[in-house]
Amino acid sequence: MHKPTILITGGTSGIGLATARLFAQNGHAVVITARDAARAQAVVAAIGAQTGNPEVRWLWGDLSTIAGCQELVVRIRREVPDLQVLINNAGVFMTEKVLNPDGFETNFMVNYLAPFILSTGLADMLARNHPARILNVSTGLHLSGHFDLAQTPYGHDFGARASYRNAKLANALHTVELAQRLQGRGITVNAFSPGLFNTTVMKARGLTHLFFKYAGAVYALFRPIAGSALAPYYLATAPTLAGVTGRFFYQQEPAAFAPQVADAALRQQLWQQTLAWLA
């Protein structure tokens, strides 16, 4: 039987790369997006060689601006018309405030606006290819995020740790709102925390040590990166999750979103404001 075609944003390293490899090993057609052609070509060649799967390719896409995201939508619609699973994985953890040319703080742009633009821009195509799934790579840190529509998008409330959490909270609000808006169209939308892995994003948080000592014993802080692919693989393919939508998972287990995510007025305000920014 034909296995769903998967697209993973940010497939050149970390969790995206591990996830692309696992899907390829299991016979899926896999597309990664990347903003560095040389690295993308090397990753695609390596995954092809390791898995023997010839259906691994990449598309260029820079998610740091609205136009870059919109161009990627056009490219995906043209090049991957059979897409069934979109994994919004690309993410940044900015420890300094950087505004993009559109005026948005970069955590907010890459971790929230990019998934919004990709998911809404591809929804009709995914619906035609149903059953389809959208997965947003989130974090348990969104639970301690704060979202202020007047401040967060522009980095007025910037904090070296807070802005990542706040952007992921915006992404969580979006996950539930999109899931509700796509009800009945054959697309589920969920978010998950992959757990802790020693990737570039974590190094940006200053978490570079691999082990810690507690009560005389040595523990590994991070698990092997290959394990980070298990949750997205399960959430994208498990037959038991057909129809499960608008949920948060900690790895493969159902978990609770931050309480603010239940605020329908806030979710709708963010949705309408985002459409206005994109108009």
Ligand X SMILES: NC(=O)c1ccc[n+]([C@@H]2O[C@H](COP(=O)([O-])OP(=O)(O)OC[C@H]3O[C@@H](n4cnc5c(N)ncnc54)[C@H](OP(=O)(O)O)[C@@H]3O)[C@@H](O)[C@H]2O)c1
Residue 16 engages ligand X in binding (rule: CB under 6 A): yes
Choose the stretch contacting ligand X; rule: CB under 6 A; options: 14-22, 23-31, 77-85, 236-244: 14-22
163 binds ligand X (CB under 6 A): no
Stretch binding ligand X (CB under 6 A), from 23-31, 120-128, 197-205, 268-276: 197-205
The CA-atom distances, in angstroms, between 79 and each of 58, 72, 103 are 10, 10, 30
Radius of gyration of the chain (CA): 18
- 135 near ligand X, judged by CB under 6 A: no
Nearer to ligand X, 11 or 246 (CB): 11
Q: Between residue 220 and residue 249, which ones bind ligand X under the rule CB under 6 A?
A: none
- Position 157 contacts ligand X (CB under 6 A): no
DSSP string, 140-190: GGGGG----TTTGGGTTT--TTHHHHHHHHHHHHHHHHHHHHTTTTTEEEE
Beta bridge partners of 32: 8, 58
Sole binder of ligand X in the list 15, 20, 122, 179 (CB under 6 A): 15
Q: Which of 53, 129, 139, 190 binds ligand X (CB under 6 A)?
A: 139
Tokens of 199: 């990737």
Check residue 99 and report its DSSP letter.
B
Site map (CB under 6 A) of ligand X, residues 167-196, x = contact: --------------------------xx-x
Q: Considering only residues 50 through 109, tell me which ones interact with ligand X, judged by CB under 6 A.
A: 61-64, 89-92
Q: How far apart are CA 11 and CA 186, in angstroms?
A: 26
Measure Cα distances from 227 to 16, 56, 255 in Å: 12, 20, 19
The binding site for ligand X (CB under 6 A) comprises: 10, 12-16, 35-36, 61-64, 89-92, 110, 137, 139, 193-194, 196-197, 199-202
